[in-house]
Structure 1
Amino acid sequence: MSTPTAGRAPFWVRLLFAVTLCMPIIEVVVIVLVWQVIGWWTLVALAACFCLGLVVIKRASVGAAREMRSAMAERRPPAREVADAPQALVGGVLLLIPGFVTSLLGIILILPGMRSVSRRLMQAVVGRRMAAGGVHVVDYTATRTDSFRNDPEVIEAEIIETDEDRKKP
């Protein structure tokens, strides 16, 4: 078994690059095959996928922002919202790209069942990295008195003075 060299990309990066280079050819072949079956309706289907992509992107961004605001108002971490929004946005972008293969991938990504699968996958990857020491979680939450709770102008901070700071004139 060979070890990867410093200048060589991992296998999954090389595979993604190869698929990205081949995707336009694959899309043209699929569009031609669909054209032979349904004719001019192919253009209508491509336009419908594009419009669906616009709707998905708008709803995902507005919905994620609303859900994150409500999570912050309830003083709970917006873990689900943070995990779901990028997937819906990527699905919407894939729907915008003209072609049936990318549209199919986009539709798969925006399905609610797939969101839970990818959320579990993301949690496993992040959990593995945290266990390996690759991610450091810092808790910046602070308790505040009720009088300042809804005041956006108030920023709580703690000033830490070191010996070097005291020596400076």
Structure 2
Amino acid sequence: MGKILLLLLIVVPALEIAVLILAGNTFGILVTILLIILTGVLGAALAKKEGLNAIRTAQMQASQGQIPSGVILDGVCILVGAVLLLTPGFITDGVGFFLLLPQTRAILKGFLQRIFEKLINSGKVVFINNRRW
């Protein structure tokens, strides 16, 4: 896991720089900067909207006595997507929008749920309930 993270920390910024240079040469520096700012502003607004929706859904499920497990994954995806959208670059913006849009986020949620289920079934992840009420 550490090697993959290190690779991502090296490869993603290098790719972002290459795409930014290409965009600057193709569209011009001013348009490229405006696009970066626009995606950041749109991403922040979308993250706020989706985050508030996730909080409302979690509160509603909790008030009905349900465990909001799917909403927790939504919240994690929204948080990561928002951070990626605030990071300058078009690749991270694409991944950030993928995580923020409910339709595409559902694809990743299904994938993450399968991974968590495998980890739990293999015994690598154990949940302990220490409630005393």
TM-score (norm 1): 0.69
Q: Conserved in 1, the CA contact under 8 Å of 2:50 and 2:100? A: no
Q: Structure with the greater relative contact order (CA < 8 A, sep ≥ 6): 1 or 2? A: 2
- Counterpart-to-counterpart distance in 2, 1:22 and 1:136: 35
Query: What displacement does 1:111 show?
Result: 2.6
Match of 1:95 in 2: 85
Match of 1:14 in 2: 3
User: Gaps spanning 5+ residues in structure 2: where?
Assistant: none
- Superposed CA RMSD in Å reads 2.0
- Counterpart-to-counterpart distance in 2, 1:43 and 1:131: 47
- Counterpart-to-counterpart distance in 2, 1:105 and 1:48: 16
Q: Conserved in 1, the CA contact under 8 Å of 2:43 and 2:97? A: no
Tell me whether 1:24 sits opposite 2:13 in the alignment: yes
- Counterpart-to-counterpart distance in 2, 1:139 and 1:113: 35
Tell me whether 1:68 sits opposite 2:52 in the alignment: no
- Aligned pairs for 1:1-169 (under 5 A) are 12-39=1-28, 40-133=30-123, 134-138=125-129, 140=131, 157=133
Q: Conserved in 2, the CA contact under 8 Å of 1:56 and 1:88? A: no
TM-score (norm 2): 0.85
Q: Conserved in 2, the CA contact under 8 Å of 1:52 and 1:92? A: no
User: Gaps spanning 5+ residues in structure 1: where?
Assistant: 1-11, 141-155, 158-169
Instruction: Kindly provide the amino acid, as one letter, of the partner of residue 65 in structure 2.
Output: R
Larger Rg: 1
- Counterpart-to-counterpart distance in 1, 2:16 and 2:112: 29
